[in-house]
Every structure is written in structure tokens, then in C-alpha cells.
């Protein structure tokens, strides 16, 4: 995997380093995750007109009424999922621009990512190819149903907020597998960690968050 896409000015390595330092001060403790934040060119995943803001800790529009999550949330969700755990295969719901996917791909043998908006998935696939991300598999589908063919998963990470946790995602977790997911109505969303046990699952509150809603079905549009 090659992450050597250099930037200048507000997209330079110095800007990436400043972002990692800010995330450390906000409570991200994993040095491997902070190192990945330093290395991955976030400006590569957004429109050139917004590149100067790529290393701000803020969500940014990526088209189709979707956003790239703020770096703190990307780092936090990744940290919760990978803490003290080796990940063979991870399912991501909501590929979006592909930034979280590439971050996750640094910690899992395989990442299976599902996106309902065709136009976003096409662009993300192009980015994965340019970055030589050979351990990412993609699918244009409804994220509510997951990707049963490759289950059970050691981890599932969800980048959009359903009102309730989709049953299919819990069912596709391996025993001791972790699901990190935002849940709830806009303005009332909670980030939850769900861990599957032999016969049930546990639920832990992580933080208050704000994500785009998780929708059903697929969108075949390739135009914004």
C-alpha cells in the first residue's frame, strides 16, 4: 500500500503532523493510529477546492449530501475497534470518500466496505487503486443488510446513523467481535460499542456524535 501522496502548504506533512498533535491532545492515545493519520493524505479524498481545510478537525462535504467525518471521529472509532485486538476481517458500512476505509485497512487483513451511493463508490474505488490498497473489497449495496458472504467479522464500523442497530449487523459479528455504530435521530445520536458474546451482546456508550442518517436501498446516480 502506497500513501506517498505529497502536499504543499495547507496539505503538507507539517499540516498532517499538526492534526495528529491536536488529536493526541483531544485524547487519542494510540500511537499507531496517530501515525496513520500523519501518513494518510486526507486532501486526496476531498474536492480540490476544499484541500486547504483537509487537515482541520472538521467534517467536510464530499457530494451527494454526504460528508467525510472529522478526523477525531475517524481516529476514535478506529481506536475503539482495534484496541487490544487483532482483526482478520472488518466490515465497513458507508464507504463514502474512502478515507475511513483506508485508515481501517492499516489495521485489518481485509476490509469489506459497502456503499449505497454508486457515484461515491466509483470515486472511492479509483482512490483505493491509486493508493495500491489491495486489501479492500467493495460492494454497491444497502448497508442495513451488511455483507453476509464474508461474515463473521471481527469488527464492523458504521459511518451513518440508523435509528436502531440493524439486526443483520449484529448477526454478522464473530463471537467477541466489535461493532462501533452511531445510533439515533439527528441531534440525539450516540456512538455505541457493541460486543458479541456467545449467546448475547453487550452495549457501551462511547460519545455523543452527529452523522448523516443511514438510509435503506441503493442510489444508482453517478451525478451529484
Task: Note the pLDDT tens digit of each residue in 122-173.
Answer: 999 999 999 999 999 999 999 999 999 999 999 999 999 999 999 999 999 9
pLDDT of amino acid 12 = 83
Classify residue 218: in a domain, yes or no: no
Q: Classify the phi-psi angles of 69: left when phi > 0, otherwise alpha if psi is within -120 to 50, otherwise beta.
A: beta
- Structural domains of the chain, count: 1
Q: What is the pLDDT of residues 51-77, one digit of tens each?
A: 999 999 999 999 999 999 999 999 999
* Integer Cα distance of 107 and 211 in angstroms: 23
In a domain? residue 169: yes
> Which CATH number goes with the domain that contains 35?
3.40.50.150
Query: Any catalytic annotation for residue 30?
Result: no
Q: Domain range holding 198?
A: 9-209
CA 195 centroid distance within chain: 18
Q: How would you classify the pairing of strands 136-140 and 66-68?
A: unpaired
Nearest to 143 by CA among 181, 107, 104: 181
Indicate the pairing of strand 108-115 with strand 60-63: unpaired
- pTM score of the predicted model: 0.93
Instruction: Examine residue 105 and state whether it is found in any structural domain, yes or no.
Output: yes
The answer to whether residue 1 sits within a structural domain is no
Instruction: For residue 52, tell me if it sits in a domain.
Output: yes
The alpha-carbon radius of gyration of the chain (Å, integer) is: 16
At residue 5, does pLDDT exceed 70? no
Mean of pLDDT values over 174-181: 97
Residue 216 lies in a domain: no
Q: Residue 215: inside a domain, yes or no?
A: no
| Catalytic site residue from 30, 69, 216, 221 | 69
Is 90 exceeded by the pLDDT of residue 209? Answer: yes
Amino acid at each position: 500500500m502506497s500513501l506517498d501522496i505529497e502536499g504543499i502548504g495547507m496539505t503538507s506533512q507539517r499540516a498532517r503532523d499538526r492534526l495528529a498533535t491536536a488529536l493526541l491532545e483531544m485524547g487519542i492515545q494510540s500511537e499507531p493510529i496517530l501515525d496513520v493519520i500523519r501518513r494518510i493524505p486526507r486532501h486526496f479524498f476531498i474536492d480540490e477546492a476544499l484541500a486547504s481545510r483537509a487537515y482541520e478537525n472538521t467534517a467536510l462535504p464530499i457530494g451527494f449530501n454526504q460528508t467525510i467525518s472529522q478526523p477525531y471521529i475517524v481516529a476514535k472509532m478506529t481506536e475503539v475497534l482495534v484496541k487490544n485486538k487483532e482483526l482478520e476481517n472488518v466490515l465497513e458500512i458507508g464507504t463514502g470518500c474512502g478515507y475511513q476505509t483506508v485508515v481501517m485497512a492499516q489495521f485489518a487483513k481485509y476490509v469489506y466496505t459497502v456503499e449505497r451511493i454508486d457515484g461515491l463508490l466509483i470515486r472511492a474505488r479509483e482512490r483505493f487503486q491509486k493508493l495500491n490498497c489491495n486489501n479492500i473489497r467493495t460492494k454497491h449495496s444497502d448497508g442495513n443488510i451488511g455483507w453476509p458472504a464474508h461474515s463473521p467479522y471481527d469488527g464492523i464500523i458504521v459511518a451513518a446513523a440508523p435509528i436502531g442497530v440493524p439486526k443483520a449487523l449484529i448477526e454478522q459479528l464473530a463471537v467477541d467481535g466489535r461493532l462501533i455504530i452511531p445510533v439515533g435521530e439527528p441531534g440525539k445520536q450516540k456512538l455505541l460499542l457493541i460486543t458479541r458474546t456467545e449467546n448475547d451482546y453487550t452495549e457501551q456508550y462511547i460519545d455523543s456524535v452527529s452523522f448523516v442518517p443511514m438510509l435503506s436501498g441503493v442510489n444508482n446516480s453517478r451525478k451529484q
